[in-house]
Amino acid sequence: IWTVEKDVDNLAESHHIQEAAERLIQNEVVAFPTETVYGLGGNAQSDKAIDRIFQAKGRPSDNPLIVHIAKRDDVKRYVEKTNELGEKLINAFWPGPLTLVFRHNGRLSTKVTAGLDTVGIRMPDHPVALAVIEASGLPIAAPSANTSGRPSPTTAVHVQEDLRGKIAGIVDGGATGVGLESTVVDCTGEEPMILRPGGITKEQLEAVVGKVAVDPSLAEEKEAPRSPGMKYTHYAPKAEMTLVDGSDRFFQEQIDEANRKGLNVGILVPVEKSETFSGMRRKEICGTESDISTVARELYGALRSFDSGEAVDVIFARTVGEAALGQAVMNRLRKAAGNRVLTENELQK
Ligand code: TXA
Ligand code: MG
């Protein structure tokens, strides 16, 4: 672990940054913080480095990686051409939690793009990420730095839990900010399309480019997702999780019912509901309902925490409203719950 202070002026001169960059140049893989989650970085032009990323994560090789750059203009080095739509989004949101999909020009490892003719690129908004990328002088492919399927890491300790001994090092720049991954937007068609909801909301995108489509598979299970990564179960704690959409009484009934079956119950609730329920073995508090960004920031840490300490058999989690960042939060919650949602019907309320 290389610890760095993210707010110092001369970050680029830190030997920890230099050492991490050195390892990247040698085609080794290194984890570092971004504003969304920790990434596991490797040289996007090296098949060997990319193999190491897939191996460390145990990631299916048909799932392409996002390429990270330190300057907006560097996007032109790897894509056939940008377009007006792409330029507008870049100017409005880079650096930031937005990944843009363009047709690539063949200058990256084909393993990064998993053989697709497109590539997802973003410029992260984190001084440590930018310093590492800049010092390496390379395009850096970086998926989230977790074991494939587990919740993404928002601290260096989470990365260690999953990848200790499997990677060259971790640059520890403290906890990440947004807490959920970047929004992935396909810019290759007539109309921009959200392939994965994330840190930049649909409303924010539409304020800049007008109507934005959403990959239909995000709403309906039947369709195959256009973003390969969206088809896998993800972010799930070991205990079976179910989302509960309804009143406090309905939520309490789920706990009571599970107890009657002899199951140990865990609950995941916002701070407003921290004293509302009884009969559970574990309670993880995740953010405050009145500020969805705090729920996003704390979600992965809360999901991870169920996997250590006292084991539970089932977890009940409260749903959140789908406005703004709520869309990304609900997308991750549904995946973590394998799409199990209990909805209270109007008569019960
Ligand atoms: O915030 C983030 O995006 C983090 C940080 C580290 O930057 N990275 C991240 O990477 O979440 P990963 O690999 O965990 O997720 C990448 C997602 C996957 O769902 C993948 O299928 C999709 O982006 N993706 C990558 N390239 C794509 C492409 N060319 N077309 C469609 N989807 C793509
Ligand atoms: Mg991931």
Distance 27 CA to ligand 2 centre (A): 21
Would you state the structure tokens that stand for residue 332, as one six-digit string? 């991750």
Closest-CA residue to 145 (of 169, 122, 110, 112): 169
Amino acid at 10: N
pLDDT value, residue 221: 61
Distance 114 CA to ligand 2 centre (A): 15
> Does ligand 1 lie within 6 Å of residue 182's CB atom?
yes
**pLDDT tens readout for residues 267-293:** 999 999 999 999 999 999 999 999 999
- Is pLDDT of 46 > 80? yes
How far is it, in rounded angstroms, from Cα 304 to Cα 306?
5
Closest-CA residue to 1 (of 218, 240, 170, 159): 170
278 is in an annotated binding site: no
pTM over 0.90: yes
**pLDDT tens readout for residues 210-263:** 999 999 988 766 566 777 766 666 788 899 999 999 999 999 999 999 999 999
pLDDT value, residue 236: 84
59 is in an annotated binding site: yes
Amino acid at 284: E
Asked if 98 contacts 63 with a C-beta cutoff of 8 angstroms, the reply is no
- The arithmetic mean of pLDDT across residues 149-154, rounded, is 95
How far is it, in rounded angstroms, from Cα 299 to Cα 179?
7
ipTM (interface predicted TM): 0.99
Distance 36 CA to ligand 2 centre (A): 11
pLDDT value, residue 13: 85
Burial of residue 97, with CB atoms counted within 10 A of its CB: 0-12 exposed, 13-18 middle, 19 or more buried = buried
- From the CA of 180, give the closest atom in ligand 1: 1
Distance 75 CA to ligand 1 centre (A): 16
**From atom 29 of ligand 1, which residue's Cα is the shortest distance away?**
119
- Is pLDDT of 191 > 70? yes
Do you know the residue count of the chain?
349
118 is in an annotated binding site: yes
**From atom 21 of ligand 1, which residue's Cα is the shortest distance away?**
229
